[in-house]
Structure formats: structure tokens, C-alpha cells
Structure 1
Amino acid sequence: MTEELNQVEVRSFQVGDKVKGQVTKVEEKQVLVSIENSKIDGIVPISELSSLHVEKASDVVSEGEELDLEVLKVEEEAIVLSKKKIDAEKAWEDLTEKFQSGAIFDAQVKEVVKGGLVVDLGIRGFVPASLVESHFVEDFSEYRDLTLSFKIVELDKEKNRLILSHRAVVEQEKGKQKRAILDAVQPGKVVEGTVQRITDFGAFVDIGGIDGLVHISQLSHQHVDKPSDVIEEGQKVTVKVLSVDRDNERISLSIKETLPGPWSNILEKAQKGSVLEGTVKRLVSFGAFVELLPGVEGLVHISQIAHKHIATPFEVLKEGQKVKVKVLEVNESEQRISLSIKELEDKPEEETYELPEESKGFQLGEVIGDMLKNLKS
């Protein structure tokens, strides 16, 4: 009689019915549940517990837990139920809403597989390796069981396809940080940064989440042929903000502006009366410009080049020539230095004409007259 009643009650269920059940026993490969408002037990196979692969049923459910289930099969004395179908149905509704709104949500990484990560959201979500981080990751093993923030980038219920991206969240956050920095940074501000990238025309420096460009002309007070000659990637630097283009998200920076200028303390470096060695940089009609220190030139006026009269500096000097000079005057405020080369050279003796002994006592005119006669004869 009991069997007949059970069969009658079993037949009252239809495939697709939604029921609630309480877990009464967890076996290795299946779960037994008591169906609400029924004396019939149901069976949930391990394959119907989750959208992901499950090794043990106890990894998913525990005794006493209440589950929402769907009827898969109606057998003579038992009902086969599915948990994952209900979970998936609820998940698709929730995920569709998240996809349409662009929502960010947290989820735990359940598996690390070839090509990416797997997340259980009621349905299987896949995170391709290229969408995990904004930088390259060689080994994803440490990501297992991590809880990360995700955005849905592809959703197709018919193909049961759900693609997630953690990288999109990271880049979105970076974008917010970048905008905040752009709004906060002001020209003239001095900040610390790290050299991220070096190019032929300068260096990109990270100043806290956004890169600014230090043009090659702003790397040093000295002439720079290649940025890599004076700076390297990863180097910590102090930079001054020159300009901010918020529309195009560009920041111009200077390292040179934070360094002491070549003329600072010039009175100590080139003291009046001191002798220095320099290089002739430019020759002009009125003299020669000699570089004493990087970025510091002094003028040797044409009158200070040689003791003898010269028409142009080109007669005795050439560009690139090393010369010793004496500092005559220094004007730090106007950045001018007067130099002399001839002050370091011996003054040639003046040629004098000695009168013959016998001519002494005669008038100069008489002597010259006699000399002229001798020349004529």
C-alpha cells in the first residue's frame, strides 16, 4: 500500500517543476533531499550540484541546508533533481542586469585552467588570461581561491557563454585615479616620480598613477645627446610640473628645473683672479666665448686675446680649442664673466734702437741725417 502511495505521489511531479528540498544526507557522488510538502525523497546527482566540476558533493552542500531545485526526471520511486539549473536560471537574470548596467562585482576564482581562470556565478564564468590583469602574468596558480572584482564583457545565454574581465576593472580604476591626478596637479608643483620608459625624445615618468613626459631638453642643464646617458628606467626622480593638458591627458615635466642652475654659486666656482681651463665654443668679431663649466661661458674680448694687435679672433683661436684664461670680472645676476688670455702670457719686450757710442752727444736729427746719407751711398 505504501509503495502504491509513493508511486502516486511521485507521479504528481512533472519534469521542470520547481521545488524546495532539505539536504538529509550527503554522499560522495549524490545528495539526498526531502522535498517540501511531500513524503518523497529526491536525489541530486553530483553533476547537478554546480556548473563547475565537483570532486565531492560535500564541497558544495551540507546536511540540513535548504536548496531550490528543479525536477529533471520522475522515476518509479524517486525524483531526480537539479540544483545547478535553478542556480543558472537565477544567475542569467542577475548577470544580464549586471551586463547591461556595466556593474562591477566580486567573485571567487574557483579554478585555474589553461588559458585563464574559472569563476562560479551560478553558471561557469571564464576569464581569459589577457583579461586578468593590465600587465603580463606568467603563472596564475596563486589566483586560485582569490576574490577579485569583475565586469562582464560578453554574455550569450544561448551559447551558455560568460566572459569576465578583471583587467577592465583595474583599468577603470586607473582611469579614475588618472583623472583625479589630472585635476589635482598644477603647473609649478614639484613632485616625486619614477622613470617608466625612455625614448629618443625624452623620458616618461610616473607621478603617482599617471605618466608625464620629461622632454630631452628638460633632463639637464647640460646638452644631452641621448636620454639614456643621464637617466635609467626605474630611477626615482624629482620633477617640476611645467604644464597640464587635461583634455588630452598630457603632463609636461622637467628634471632640469629642480636642479641647481649652472650659474648658481658661480662666484665660488669662478673667483675673480682665478685661472681656469676652458673650451672655445664660439668665435665672433669682438672676441671669443669660452665654456668654463657645463652651461657657463665667459667672454674673452678681442683686446684680451693677445698682446699684439689682431684684426679678428680667428687669427689666433679656433672653436673647440682648449685654453687657459684668467677671470677678470664676474656678474652673477646678469650671468656674465669677463676673461683674459693675454694676462697669462708674457708681455714681449719692446724693441729699442741703441745709438752708436760715437754718436752720443749729437742731436737726434744729425744722427738720422748721417744714417740716411749712408743708406744713399
Structure 2
Amino acid sequence: MDVNVSVDQGQQGQSEHNPTDQDLGEEVPVSQDMGDYLEEYQSPKRGDICTGVVIGSDARGLIVDVGLKREGLIPNEDLERLDEETRSAVQVGTEVTVFVLRPEDRNGYPILSIHQAQLSKDWIKAEEMMESGGLYEGEISGYNRGGLIVKFGKIRGFVPASQLVDLPRRLSQDDRRQRLADMVGQQVGLKIIEVDRRRRRLIFSQRRALRSWQEVQRNRVMDQLTEGEVQHGRVTSITNFGAFVDLGGADGLIHVSELGWGRVDNPRQVLTVGDEVDVYVLDVDRQRKRIALSLKRLQPDPWTLIDDHYQGGQLVEGRVTRVLDFGAFIELDLGVEGLLHSSEMIGAPELGPADIVHPGETLLLKIIRIDSSKRRLALSAKQVRQSEWERWVAEQQAAREAQETAEAQVVEAEGDAAEPEAEEAVSEVVAGEVAEPEAEEAVSEPVADEVAEPEAEEAVSEPVA
């Protein structure tokens, strides 16, 4: 078309200017331009990716101008392979990226494909992601006995079972299939480890993406957390200083001091690995990537109940938790700690608190002062009367005797149940001893055979006679 326009312009110039020989000579560059254009033009090749504009449609499909000698055709069969959203978006005037399936059909039209162009883009993207080592987050769409299927744009990739994180190798075939089926629909982090466009192979690994995926999950969870909210999680590990709880991709720490309002010496007495718990978010340190959690903040504060539960002059039992130079801290049944000052202990003046009471010991004490606003509770051993102390000791002794009696009855019952079994075992041994003569008879039989040997010799010697 450009060539025709150039010729028309030349003819128009002749009519207006009556061109001279020099004018005719100026037409030579026009033919040279046309020749240059034809030399520079290269026919499309299969696999080329072009961008064009939809200029029309007919019964065969869409007609697209991609800057070639002739318009290209996108067959209806290719359009049917597109998803509904993409297909409805392709109208006259829409710019589309197409893949050259055939440079020319029998009528000379290039055959193009939007679907293959999308696939080719995805293959290129997969190759770039594999080279860069980028993390891909995808949804598991299916499975087979060898692993999981994950969509990557319009391509289906595969995650071999050997590249999965939570799939033990020694599972039975049925358990393995069930595990794989349960993963369908989950979002997972993956890394591409193989791209082979010719063989249509796209292979992922979850193992190689584990650290990167955990980092992404941690950042995502931390961005969503708010101090003061309640979250649900699972206990993943327990240490002497607290317990770690997984909040769905990020672990938070419940410090031992936040496990309960009372003193907790061993976190394992409160929680077990695998426990599902609700936790209170104390603090989110995004810079240091730390999450502080609490259990006790979801429980009633015992100091708010202390005025209803205790009163001055009341006798209470308590367990010694800590012994210091000035006294001992005593934990009461409500979970609060009171102070037994050294001046309220019973003992010689020259003795220190550590010589009088010991951690874990249970004492009978009297409450002498309560200040719930300051969370203070004062206790005394001196102010416990002799009669009160003797009655408490007698009750303690009676309780111990009752427990010992119950334990003895349990042991006796177990012994009675074991007697029939012992008698049966003895009877089996006795039966074995009675059976010994039969064994002796069996042993004596070969001796009889030896005695019969002379008869055999006589029988052999008869033919010689």
C-alpha cells in the first residue's frame, strides 16, 4: 500500500509541474525504497510472537493485522481454548499478542494463536524465574501417585513426591494418596528446578523453597498481627524459658512469666507440643521479627478476685516458691504469691530464712495484711496458734494415712489378680517335670536298637554259610 501511495504522488507531480528529465530522474529513489522494503521484509516463521490489532471476524475466526503482507487469522478452535474472561475481552480494535502457528495456509493467510502465545509467555517467565531462583506461590490443583500438580499461568507444572516437605517416605500407598489428596487447594511456595519447553516439562521443588517460603509467610503474618488481639495457634516447641506457638507461618514466644498468673517453674507442666491454644498478642517487633504472646492475659487476674477470696486473719495453706534473705514467697491456691517475712517465721533469731523453710515445702500460715491495689499480701507463721497448727498437722497426717491405705489396697488387689496367673505358670512347670519319664523312655529307644545289632549281623552272615 505504501508503494501505491508513492506512485500516485509522482503522477500528481507530473500533471502539475510538467517534469523535466531531471524530475523523471528523481523517481529512481522511489523504486529503490520499494526494493529496500522488499529486501528488509522477512516472512514470519513458526514460533514468532507478534502483537497485532483485531480488525474483523468471519466464520473462520478473528482477522488480525500484525504488520505482515496479509492479515492473520486466529481460528475459532484457538478461541475456544481461552478462558471465558480472556475470550470475552477480545473484540474488534483489541490489541492482542499472538503466536505464529503457520506462516501461511493454502490461501496465503498466516495462522495465529492467542492460546499458544500465552503458553509461550509462561514458558519464558518460567525460564527467567528458574534462572533468578525466584519463589513461586501457587495453588495445588491436583495430584497423582507420583506427586502434585500446580498451575503456572496456562501451564501445568509438577512437584515430585521426593521434593515435598511433609510427605514421609515410608507411608503405605493408601496413606500416601490420602496425604496428597489432602494437599489439593493449599497455597504452597515452590522453586522451579527444571524447564524443558520441547518436552513440555515444568518441575517444581517445595524443599528448595522452604526457607524463602517461611520468610514470606512470617512477614505476611507479622504484617497482619495487631497488639492486643487474640490469635489461635499450635505449640511447636517448649523450652525452659517458655513455649513457641505457630500462628500460621510465624512463631511467637509465650515467656514462662506469661504462662499463668501463678509461678510456673516448668513450662512443660502447662503446655505440650501439639496443643491448640488461643493466645494474646503482647508485642510485635517487626524490625527484630519477634512476636511476644501471653496465655495469662486471657485468664482472670487472680488479684481482682483476692478481696472476695481471702480476708485478714484467715488460715491458708501455701507452697514455698522462693527463699530470699528477707523472707520467702508463698503461692496460695488462687495462684497469687504472698510474702512470709523473716520476722514472721518460727525459728531461732540467728537462723536465716533458708535454714527455716525450703522451696516446695507446704506451710500453714495466717494472712495478716491484704493490699490488692498494690498486689501485696503479707503472711505469718508466728501468728498461727498452737492448737490451729496441731489440728492442721493431724489433718495432714490423716490425709497421708488415707492415701497410703488406698495405695496399699490397690497393690493388694493387683497381687490377688496376679495369683491365678502364677498358679497357672507353676502348674505348667510341674506338668513339664511329670513329662520327663516319657522323655527318658524316648531316649532309651536307641539303646534297644543297639542291642538288636547282633541279630542284624547274624542275618547278614547266613548267606555266607
Name the TM-score, length of structure 2 as normaliser.
0.43
* Distance in 2 of aligned mates of 1:297 and 1:331: 11
Q: Which residue of 1 aligns with 2:123?
A: 95
Among 337, 343, 357, which residue is 1:296 paired with?
337
Among 297, 300, 318, which residue is 2:357 paired with?
318
Q: Cα distance, 1:344 vs. partner? A: 2.9
Structure with the largest fraction of helix: 2
Q: 1:275 to 1:163 in 2, by over 3 A?
A: same
Among 191, 204, 208, which residue is 2:230 paired with?
191
Alignment partner of 2:244: what SS?
strand
Q: Which residue of 2 aligns with 1:136?
A: 167
1:206 aligns with 2:246: yes
Q: 1:120 to 1:330 in 2, by over 3 A?
A: closer
For CA contacts below 8 A with separation 6 or more, give which structure has more relative contact order: 1
Q: Cα distance, 1:164 vs. partner? A: 3.5
Q: 1:174 to 1:326 in 2, by over 3 A?
A: closer
1:220 aligns with 2:220: no
Q: 1:155 to 1:299 in 2, by over 3 A?
A: same
Q: 1:165 to 1:88 in 2, by over 3 A?
A: farther
Q: 1:271 to 1:205 in 2, by over 3 A?
A: same
* Distance in 1 of aligned mates of 2:262 and 2:342: 25
Q: Which residue of 1 aligns with 2:375?
A: 335
* Distance in 2 of aligned mates of 1:99 and 1:237: 43
Describe how 1:252-331 pairs up with structure 2 within 5 A.
252-280=292-320, 289-293=329-333, 294-300=335-341, 302=343, 304-305=344-345, 310-312=348-350, 314=352, 317-320=356-359, 321-331=361-371
Q: Cα distance, 1:274 vs. partner? A: 1.0
Q: Which residue of 1 aligns with 2:144?
A: 112
* Distance in 1 of aligned mates of 2:386 and 2:245: 54
Q: 1:88 to 1:161 in 2, by over 3 A?
A: farther
CA contact (8 A) 1:288 1:313 kept: no
Name the TM-score, length of structure 1 as normaliser.
0.51
Worse-matched range after superposition: 148-157 or 257-266: 148-157
The code of the aligned residue for 1:266 comes to I
Structure 1: runs of 5+ lacking an equivalent: 1-16, 19-67, 71-86, 348-377
Identity across aligned pairs (percent)? 30
Q: Once superposed, what is the RMSD of the aligned Cα atoms?
A: 4.9
CA contact (8 A) 2:157 2:204 kept: yes
Q: Cα distance, 1:296 vs. partner? A: 0.9
Alignment partner of 1:186: what SS?
coil
Q: Cα distance, 1:135 vs. partner? A: 3.2
CA contact (8 A) 2:283 2:291 kept: yes
1:155 aligns with 2:155: no
* Distance in 1 of aligned mates of 2:318 and 2:192: 67
Q: 1:99 to 1:318 in 2, by over 3 A?
A: same
Q: Cα distance, 1:338 vs. partner? A: 3.0
CA contact (8 A) 2:149 2:158 kept: yes
The code of the aligned residue for 2:160 comes to P
Alignment partner of 1:342: what SS?
coil
* Distance in 2 of aligned mates of 1:198 and 1:119: 35
Structure 2: runs of 5+ lacking an equivalent: 1-44, 47-100, 104-114, 169-174, 388-465
Q: 1:248 to 1:154 in 2, by over 3 A?
A: farther
Cα deviations by residue, 1:8-62 (Å, 9 ceiling, x for unpaired) = xxxxxxxxx98xxxxxxxxxxxxxxxxxxxxxxxxxxxxxxxxxxxxxxxxxxxx
The code of the aligned residue for 1:135 comes to D
CA contact (8 A) 1:107 1:121 kept: no
* Distance in 2 of aligned mates of 1:211 and 1:312: 51
Q: 1:319 to 1:165 in 2, by over 3 A?
A: closer
Structure with the largest fraction of strand: 1
Q: Cα distance, 1:184 vs. partner? A: 3.2
Alignment partner of 2:303: what SS?
coil
The code of the aligned residue for 1:333 comes to S
Describe how 1:39-50 pairs up with structure 2 within 5 A.
none
Q: Cα distance, 1:185 vs. partner? A: 2.0
Count of aligned positions:
259
